Chains A and B, each alone.
Chain A
Amino acid sequence: MLKSRFIFLSTLFFSGLGACTTESHIPNYLKNESQVYHEPLDSLNGNPESTNRWYMTKGNDYDHFLYQGNWDEGEGLQKRPKNNFINNLSLALKIGGFGNSAHFSAAH
Chain B
Amino acid sequence: MKRIEIQPRPNLKERLEKDGFYFHSDYYSETSAYVFKLTEVIRIEKATASLFQLCMEAIDWVIKKNRFDDFLIPKKYWDLIKASWKEDYCSFYGRMDLAVNHDSTEIFLLEFNADTPTSLLEASVVQWKWLEDFNPIFDQFNSIHEKLLSHFKYCRSYLLGNKKLWFTGIAESIEDYTTILYLQDIASQAGISTDFINIPLIGVDRHGDFYGMGSKKFIEPIHNIFKLYPYEWMFKEPFGDYLSERTLWIEPFYKAILSNKYLLVLLYNLFPNHPNLLPAFSNETHSLNQYVQKPIFGREGNNVRIMDNNHIIQEKNGDYGKEGFVFQQYQELPEFQGFRPVIGSWIIGGKPAGMGIKETSQYIHDDMSQFCPHFIQD
A17 and B172 alpha carbons, distance in the complex (Å): 12
* 0/1 interface trace, chain A 65-101, chain B, CB 8 Å (1 if under): 0101000000000000000010000011111111111
Does residue B239 face the partner (Cβ distance < 8 Å to A)?
A: yes
List the A side residues contacting B176 at CB < 8 Å: 106-108
The answer to whether B171 touches A95, judged by C-beta atoms less than 8 angstroms apart, is no
B300 touches A2 (CB 8 A): no
Which residues from chain B contact A94 at a C-beta distance below 8 Å? Answer: 203-204
A101 touching B213, Cβ below 8 Å: no
The segment from B182-190, B275-283, B284-292, B324-332 that touches chain A is B182-190
Q: Out of B217, B299, B318, which one reaches A108, CB within 8 Å?
A: B299
Residues of B near A96 (CB, < 8 A) are: 200
When each residue 37-56 of chain A gets 1 if its CB lies under 8 Å from chain B and 0 otherwise, what string results? 00001100101001010100
Contact (Cβ within 8 A) A91 B219: yes
Could you tell me how many residues of chain B have their Cβ less than 8 Å away from some Cβ of chain A?
A: 72
Known: A30-B172, A107-B116. A9 touches B229 (CB 8 A): no
Q: Summarize A's interface: helix, strand, loop or mixed.
A: loop
Interface centre among B202, B242, B318 (most CB of A within 10 A): B202
Residue pair B229, A10 in contact (C-beta under 8 Å): no
Q: Are A108 and B175 in touch, CB under 8 angstroms? A: yes
Distance A16 CA – B121 CA, assembled complex (angstroms): 15
Least CB distance from A80 to B in Å reads 15
B-contact 0/1 string along A1-44, CB 8 Å cutoff: 11101011110111011001100011100100000000001100
Q: Cα distance A41–B141 when bound, in Å?
A: 46
> Are B140 and A13 neighbours in the complex by a CB distance under 8 Å?
no
In angstroms, Cα B174 to Cα A20, docked, is 7
A-B contact count (CB 8 A): 177
Interface size for A (C-beta < 8 A) is 48
Is B211's CB under 8 angstroms from A91's CB? yes
B residues less than 8 Å from A104 (CB atoms) = 233, 319
Contact among A62, A99, A108 with B179 in the assembled complex (CB-CB below 8 Å): A108
B22 A20 Cβ-Cβ under 8 A: yes
Residue from the set A52, A93, A101 with the largest chain B CB neighbour count within 10 Å: A93
Whether a CB of chain A sits under 8 angstroms from the CB of B236 is yes
Among the stretches B46-54, B101-109, B142-150, B309-317, the one at the interface with A is B142-150
Complexed CA–CA distance, A27 and B53 (Å): 43
Task: Tell me whether B373 is interfacial, beta carbon within 8 Å.
Answer: no
Nearest residue, chain B, Cβ from A7: B145
Bound-complex Cα distance A20 to B367 (A): 20
Within 8 A of A (CB), among B177-224: 177-179, 181-182, 184-185, 188-189, 194, 196, 198-206, 211, 213, 217-219
Nearest CB on B from A86, distance (A): 9
| Inter-chain contact B143/A97, CB cutoff 8 Å | no
| Interface pair B22/A21, CB less than 8 Å apart | yes
Give Cα A99 to B113, complex, Å.
20
Bound Cα distance from A72 to B71, whole angstroms: 49
User: Would you give the 0/1 interface string for B214-246, flagging 1 where the beta carbon is closer than 8 Å to chain A?
Assistant: 000111000000001110011011110010000
Q: Report B-chain residues with C-beta under 8 Å of the C-beta of A66.
A: 201, 203, 213, 219
Asked if A7 and B230 sit within 8 Å, CB to CB, the answer is no
| Residue among B118, B175, B204, B300 making CB contact with A97, cutoff 8 Å | B204
* Residues in B whose Cβ lies below 8 Å from that of A93: 203-205, 211, 219
Q: Are B181 and A12 in contact (CB under 8 A)?
A: yes
Give the residues from 106 to 155 in chain B that come closer than 8 angstroms, CB to CB, to chain A.
Answer: 113, 116-118, 124-125, 128-129, 136, 139-143, 145-146
* Chain A positions within 8 Å of B145 at CB level: 5, 7
Residues of chain A with a CB closer than 8 A to B230's CB: 107
Q: Is B170 touching A102 in the complex (CB atoms < 8 A)? A: yes
CA distance A64 to B169 in the complex (A): 18
Chain A positions within 8 Å of B72 at CB level: none
23 inter-chain pairs at a CB distance below 8 angstroms, sorted by A residue, are A1-B142, A3-B136, A5-B142, A7-B128, A8-B189, A13-B20, A14-B20, A16-B184, A17-B22, A17-B181, A20-B181, A21-B22, A25-B171, A25-B177, A41-B213, A85-B205, A91-B211, A93-B203, A95-B202, A105-B299, A108-B113, A108-B116, A108-B117
**A-B pairs with the 9 shortest C-beta distances?**
A93-B203, A97-B239, A99-B200, A13-B185, A97-B238, A101-B233, A108-B118, A99-B199, A16-B181
